[in-house]
A and B are shown apart, each in its own frame.
Chain A
Amino acid sequence: MNNDNRRYTFLFIVGTICVIYIARLFALQVATSEWKNKGSRLTEREVVVYPSRGNIFDRNGKVLVTNQTVYDLMVLPKDLQPFDTLDFCKLVNLPYEELKEILKKSVTYPNVKYKPSPVIKQMLPEEYAIFAERLYKFPGFFVQARTLRTYPESLGALVLGDVGEVNGDILKSHPDYRKGDYIGLSGIEKSYEKELRGKRGIKYVYRDNLGVEHSVANGQLDSAAQEGVDLYSTIDAELQKYGEKLMQNKRGCIVAIEPSTGEILALVSAPTFDPNLLVGRARGQNFAALAKNPLKPLFNRATQAQYRPGSIFKLAQSLTALQLGSITKDTRIACNRSLIGCHGAHSMDDLEMAIVHSCNPYFRGVLQRVVEANRDPNNRAKDAAIGLSIWNEQIRKLGFGSNLGSDLPNMKKGNVPSTEYYNKKYGVNGWNFSTIYSIAIGEGELLINPVQMCNLACIIANRGFYVPPHTVKQIGRGGSARTEYVTRVDVGVKPEYFETVVNAMEKVVGPDGTANSIKLSDIVICGKTGTVQNEPREDHSVFVCFAPKENPKIALAVYVEYAGFGGTWAAPISSLMIEKYLKGGTTNTGREELIMNAKILN
């Protein structure tokens, strides 16, 4: 029986295995909390409590943007049980193939069966109501309430902006966002994202064996959702709506600003669309349709278009030349139509009348006096180079070539040609005044954005300063605008120089002016027409103005593409806007109707 000792070998093997297993248990359970934490991540669910975004009101307290509750139908694959797919698909109006695809995706990496995935996003309350009472029949499915934007006034799509779900690209640049969060993509929604967003709350819950959810650690780890801050915008809903109506079936834009405050009263880009189209499940489809539309309704012409300004730029040229001392208000220049074309009967205007007549040779002369001032008597090219730099510096003070510090996102800066610009284009000394003189009358390489045009009207209305145009006057009820929007920006032109320009603008809307048709009996409008050449197509019709003359309440820039003469379309639109804002409406319903019904979309 020499095998008796083998009982110890046997017990030794058994004992060794027991020791190894106990050591392994120690490693998994006691030595590290790695596995325990992994478990917590599985069983404890982080419930995101989405804040509702701040509301946006118009300047009179009318609701422009608010929230509606919608429901995301989610699936938690691990809780799924066989269910009546036919019934389900019928209830939620989803093709069976799509459901199959969604369920497959919900367990395909990086989704796992214990993580919920969306089945149908943003069901409207009425859609959800049908499904809600049958939800119990489909274990594994549940709904998550979320809020969506809604626009009771159906206006201002582009100025108010658009909200979308955070996607991959945004996630990379915004680490504090998570997939599924909302983010403002344009307009006020974008520039005031920080205020509107609110703070996401997080509730940690775990489910006990009865399926009841309990908060973890008595909710000490939870954070409450903080609702977004309400914004009181500068927009006047009535005026905005009116502007959109006037511009229907036309291409172009209206910018209206209160000169003394820089508050944007209306920002119309035409053609526009109902912002409610870009909400909810139809968003993707509608967005694609709008993006494909050849009239580019998604393009905010008021902030992103860069137009040649045409004759309205003569106002800026006047102020600049006066300030630089190149001319006085009494300077007379012959209307030499061999140098540049002109129209109307006049021959030797002073500054005021030259503005009224929009005399092209006159302003060619003005720019020549600024640029060719014999600063380098021997070289005409060098002279122009020096002169243009001086001109450029002065004219930029009027806000051209910059975004004005506005809160409008993605605003285009335009182009104010500089010496460097022409050097690049023609080579150093490769150009002189005669190369560039068309910028004198707002043509050539000059590009101005409509907000800048309106801002010019504000500067003139204010006789020397502007406040950066902005869209929000109160952040939170009783709050104030951002500090940069309560500070005046001085443009460095003496107040007395404005009188000539203002008087001229008054006469433009007078008996002999280019916009005489819009003269009102009770409000003095100061304006300037522009007709931007656009060979071979129809000209753009432009008008900038402010009213009333003293203590102005509203400044406007109106740009109607391919519409022809400035006085025909842009000026009447401006006058109707002024009447709407100052008097609540016009008595000239004939004009109103004519404009609203006009279709300029050739």
Chain B
Amino acid sequence: MAASNKQNLQLDWGTIALYGVLVLFGWLTIYSAAFNPLTPSPFTFSEEYGKQLVWIGVCAFLIVVILYLDAEVFNKFAIYIYLFFVLLLMLVLVIGKEVNGAKAWFGIGDFGIQPSEFSKIGVGLFLSKFISSSGVQLKNLRTRIQAFAIIGLPAMLILLQPDVGSLLTFLAFILVMYREGMSGNVLIAGFASVVIGTLSIVIGAGRTTYPYFGEQSSIWTFLISLLGLAILALIFVRNFIVPRSRRMLYSVIVISLVLASSLAFSINYIVDNVLEKHHKERIYVMLSLPVEREDASYNSEMAKITVGSGGLLGRGFHQGPMTQNNYVPEQWTDFIFSAVAEEWGFVGSVLVILLFFALIYRLVALAERQRSQFSRVYGYCVAAIIFMHVLINIGMVLGLAPIIGIPLPFFSYGGSSLMAFTILLFIMIRLDAERLSIFR
């Protein structure tokens, strides 16, 4: 069956080419950033660039396997794949190896496997299967709750590791659900939450002396301002809006106030009392708020300097003074984009961003041309996950997002990440290759 299928396969060579370029560019950057002058050969398997070559080889093998598999497998076994990774996520909490304070790794000799990276494949497949099953409408609350449960179970397990970075990438699935019919208010609410959350942290970091209450966190000023804003809005509605709409608007305003206030208060509370000190400092560094320790801003500062060091055209391969001197710690992993920016400059960095945009654009196009809803939803899952990673990772390097340790797809050193993204992408390519033979 597999052999006969293969003759009909219509592989999207554009996507495959983009994948190839990104992986190659990524490996070159690792080769430069992790370069050890004592072992200049790319085939030095004790160094990151040598190891990454092995992972690329493994990925080539995985690609062949995926392309040989029947496309139906992914639809049929979606739930089992999902459950398998959930099981791994549970297992890692028990027998996992702790790295940087998170129990996120299965250690196998020198190598480590990070199940959270792979779990996104399971969630993507199962969510697609669920949304595409007959009778499921994302407009229904029940369906939405079920969908969130599918996403939430592995997300909860990842939070227990704890690995906040990986958790955040699960937000990608909200974008997918939005595409599949969930209310756009979710996005608006999400955007509003980010704004309110940021303001509450920035304002809440200060201290103000209030009459009768003495010195307190400035968050109260923010809450009082929200209250004042709501009162102004109520007065506005009362005087300038036709009576029949007032009732509805009153409740919208009051509910918004309650939600916004509790969000602001709880975010401020979480930042102050729940988050670990280094997480709080990372957020403060991103928001340019003062931090106690000088080194808290070190990574962020060095990343920005490294990016700036590139200039318009870059320093050239193996020539970036910041990159070659390891100013950014472990630059070949999460901060790899700074190496790109230094050695290839503005031109190279924009090229990488455009390559990612092209890949996401291409994935959306692939998704939209699917006849099966399963394939379409899955295509969006892939596009959204890659987008979330790019958004957070590059934002972090450019100082626009807090320092969250998640890899840049295809670029960052690491087998788990590279294999997971390869599998994720090539399942879509495999599905797309058979789009004409699937009718649904």
Instruction: State the A residues within 8 Å of B (CB).
Output: 3-4, 6-7, 9-11, 13-15, 17-18, 20-22, 24-26, 28-30, 32-36, 38-40, 42-44, 78, 109, 112, 114, 206-211
Contact = CB atoms under 8 A, between A and B. Distances in A.
Contact of B37 (A26, A36, A210): A210
A567 B186 CA distance: 109
23 contacts: A3-B179, A3-B180, A7-B179, A7-B368, A10-B364, A14-B361, A17-B387, A18-B353, A18-B356, A18-B357, A21-B400, A24-B398, A25-B307, A25-B398, A29-B312, A29-B346, A32-B308, A33-B308, A38-B308, A39-B305, A39-B322, A109-B294, A209-B318
B179 A10 contact: yes
B127 interface: no
A4 B181 CA distance: 9
Contacts of B197: none
A29 B307 CA distance: 7
B412 interface: no
Most buried by A among B294, B325, B387: B325
B37 to A, nearest CB: 5
A3 B181 contact: yes
A362 B106 CA distance: 109
A78 B298 CA distance: 13
B321 interface: yes
Interface string B375-409: 00000100110010011001100111000000000
Interface string B350-381: 10011011001100100110000000000010
Contacts of A6: 178-179, 184
Contact of B321 (A22, A109, A206): A206
Given A28-B341, A36-B308, 6 more contacts: A10-B179, A17-B390, A25-B346, A33-B311, A39-B306, A42-B321
Nearest to A107: B295
Contacts of A21: 353, 394-395, 398, 400
A30 B368 CA distance: 38
Contacts of B308: 28-29, 32-36, 38-39
B346 A30 contact: yes
B180 to A, nearest CB: 7
Interface of B: 35, 37, 175, 178-181, 184, 187, 294, 304-312, 318, 321-322, 324-327, 341, 345-346, 349-350, 353-354, 356-357, 360-361, 364, 367-368, 380, 383-384, 387, 390-391, 394-395, 398-400
Contacts of B349: 25, 29
Contact of B307 (A14, A35, A78): A35
B309 A39 contact: yes
A525 B304 CA distance: 81
B136 to A, nearest CB: 14
B357 A15 contact: yes
Contacts of B309: 35-36, 39-40, 43
A217 to B, nearest CB: 14
Contact of B361 (A11, A17, A42): A11
A22 B294 contact: no
Given A25-B398, A209-B318, A211-B37, A7 B364 contact: yes
B37 A11 contact: no
A208 B364 CA distance: 43
B319 to A, nearest CB: 8
Contacts of B294: 109, 112
Contact of B325 (A4, A14, A25, A43): A43
A315 B187 CA distance: 104
A34 B305 CA distance: 9
B180 A209 contact: no
B396 to A, nearest CB: 11
B357 A14 contact: yes
Contacts of B399: 24
A211 B326 CA distance: 12
B317 to A, nearest CB: 11
A42 B327 contact: yes
B398 A36 contact: no
A39 B321 contact: yes
A21 B310 CA distance: 15
Contacts of A35: 304-305, 307-309
A26 B353 CA distance: 13
| Residue of A6, A33, A209, A211 with most partner-chain B CB within 10 A | A209
Given A25-B341, A29-B310, A34-B308, A14 B327 contact: no
Contact of B360 (A14, A26, A209, A211): A14
B73 to A, nearest CB: 27
Contact of B304 (A22, A28, A42, A112): A28
Contact of B175 (A10, A32, A43, A210): A10
A340 to B, nearest CB: 75
A17 B391 contact: yes
A556 to B, nearest CB: 62
B354 A18 contact: yes
A33 B307 CA distance: 11
A446 to B, nearest CB: 61
A208 B322 CA distance: 10
A38 B400 contact: no
Nearest to B349: A25
Contacts of A40: 309, 321
Contacts of A13: 175
Contacts of B35: 209
A28 B354 contact: no
A117 to B, nearest CB: 15
Interface centre among A15, A25, A36, A114 (most CB of B within 10 A): A25
| Residue in B184, B321, B327 with the greatest tally of chain A CB atoms within 10 Å | B321
B171 to A, nearest CB: 12
Nearest to B191: A13
Contacts of B178: 6, 9-10
Contacts of B345: 29
